[in-house]
Homo-oligomer: A and B are copies of this chain.
Amino acid sequence: MYRNFRFDVTASSGRARCGVIKTPHGEIKTPAFVFCGTKASVKGVFPQHLAETGTQIILSNTYHLFSYPGADHIRKRGGLHKFIGWNGPMLTDSGGFQIFSLGYGSVADEIKGRRNGVSSLIKTDEEGAFFKSFRDGSPQLLTPERSMAVQRALGADLTVAFDECTPYHVDKIRTEQSMERSHRWEKRSLDEFVRENDFSQALYGIVQGGVYFDLRKRSAEFVNENSFFASAVGGTLGSTKEQMYEVVEATVKELNLARPIHLLGIGGISDIFEGIGAGIDTFDCVHPTRIARHGGALVKAEYRDCKTREHINLKRSEYAVDDNPIESDCDCPTCRTFSRAYLHYLLKANELLALTAIAVHNVRFMNKLMEEIRTAISSGNLKETAGKWR
């Protein structure tokens, strides 16, 4: 069923492990970070520079591309890889997360458990999710079958089953009902995937169940029992970092370890070390490229100006006269060329180059982090490496 795909574990240390995911567009050495090219572009960064800075895989969001320019348009252009000029592995999500999170409020609201956004979600029933297009307000319906058809047209290597994203604020009964609907939708996704399978794509199942260990166990069992290529940990992970780490650890313990395991939407440095310690293989998050657009440059522990942040804010006035690169030991084009003082100036002068330059650094930072983590797992010194980075 997944004859052009493979996952091999190559080293391990405790539950942490190194592996290789083989796809028709190349290999992904894990642990790996998946960069967000939400609207078919990692904002401001050439595909060539993604590759040069060690990027193995990028994702695009089905929800955004479904709304514009449309999956059929991209299929006619030769598929997502050809359309965007990226010939390495790609992942698309199911579109569900955006519909629900934009429906409940902003993604940030959702992650933080707030509920004050204006809904664009019209209603959800057993069939699927009805919502208004963010482009033109037209009514749209996304179902498991439609999500799979859209992802098939987009043509990414890795695809994700359509699930219901359970809001944080609901109780256990509602979480369980939502999880069960997710399982039915994921089953329909898998059936649709199998029906149209041409061996160019592989499918991830998603584990739901919120913060409830017994539900997580049941959901992991559901994913294990169905012929997904890989597993993704989704849904609400709790209201604190500690709870998130506990939920992730409890979930991964129940999963089939012969399959790759992805943690959806998490990308902080500490979070990554915790996730890897629990057995996570891949991560994705908009964080590295999003903070770049606000002047945030990711730095290792020794370069930080504040204990509560994993980045420095180059807009701060102290950087106006700082002639050092973002990180003295970074080999990225930005650190080889520009000082913090110049980047500070570019941000203050509203110059476009600031955003691209900081994004390129943050991409290199995440890739270098994952490289060092892979080396550390193989050589058994993950703890020392963590001390340097987190």
The digit string for A53-84, where 1 denotes a CB below 8 A from any CB of B, is 00000000000000011000100111000011
- Contacts A77-B342, A83-B341 given; does A353 touch B44 at CB 8 Å: yes
- Interface pair B77/A339, CB less than 8 Å apart: yes
Total interface residues on A, CB under 8 Å, equals: 38
Give the 5 A-B residue pairs with the shortest CB-CB distance, closest first. Answer: A85-B337, A44-B352, A41-B351, A41-B353, A39-B349
The listed residue (B84, B321, B333) touching A342 by CB distance below 8 A is B84
Is A323 in the interface zone, CB < 8 Å from B? yes
Chain B residue at minimal CB-CB distance from A42: B353
- Write the residues of chain A forming the contact surface with B, with a CB cutoff of 8 angstroms: 39-48, 68-69, 73, 76-78, 83-85, 320-321, 323, 333, 337-339, 341-342, 345-346, 348-349, 351-353, 355-357
Chain B residue at minimal CB-CB distance from A87: B337
In whole angstroms, what is the CA distance A97 to B321 when docked?
29
User: Inside 8 A of A68's CB, which chain B residues have their CB?
Assistant: 348-349
- Contacts A48-B337, A352-B355 given; does A342 touch B83 at CB 8 Å: yes
In whole angstroms, what is the CA distance A46 to B359 when docked?
13
In whole angstroms, what is the CA distance A45 to B356 when docked?
9
- Interface pair A46/B342, CB less than 8 Å apart: no
Closest chain-B Cβ to A104's Cβ sits at a distance in Å of 24
In whole angstroms, what is the CA distance A352 to B38 when docked?
12
- Contacts A39-B351, A84-B342, A342-B85 given; does A323 touch B77 at CB 8 Å: yes
- Interface pair B76/A338, CB less than 8 Å apart: no
Chain B residue at minimal CB-CB distance from A351: B41
Closest chain-B Cβ to A369's Cβ sits at a distance in Å of 23
Chain B residue at minimal CB-CB distance from A39: B349
- Contacts A69-B320, A85-B342, A341-B83 given; does A356 touch B46 at CB 8 Å: yes
User: Inside 8 A of A78's CB, which chain B residues have their CB?
Assistant: 323
- Interface pair B48/A333, CB less than 8 Å apart: yes
In whole angstroms, what is the CA distance A342 to B331 when docked?
30
User: Inside 8 A of A40's CB, which chain B residues have their CB?
Assistant: 342, 345, 349, 351
- Contacts A39-B349, A46-B337 given; does A76 touch B356 at CB 8 Å: no
List, sorted by A's number, 17 A–B pairs whose CB atoms are closer than 8 Å.
A39-B351, A43-B353, A44-B44, A46-B356, A46-B357, A47-B337, A48-B333, A68-B349, A69-B345, A73-B320, A76-B321, A77-B323, A77-B339, A77-B341, A83-B339, A352-B352, A352-B356
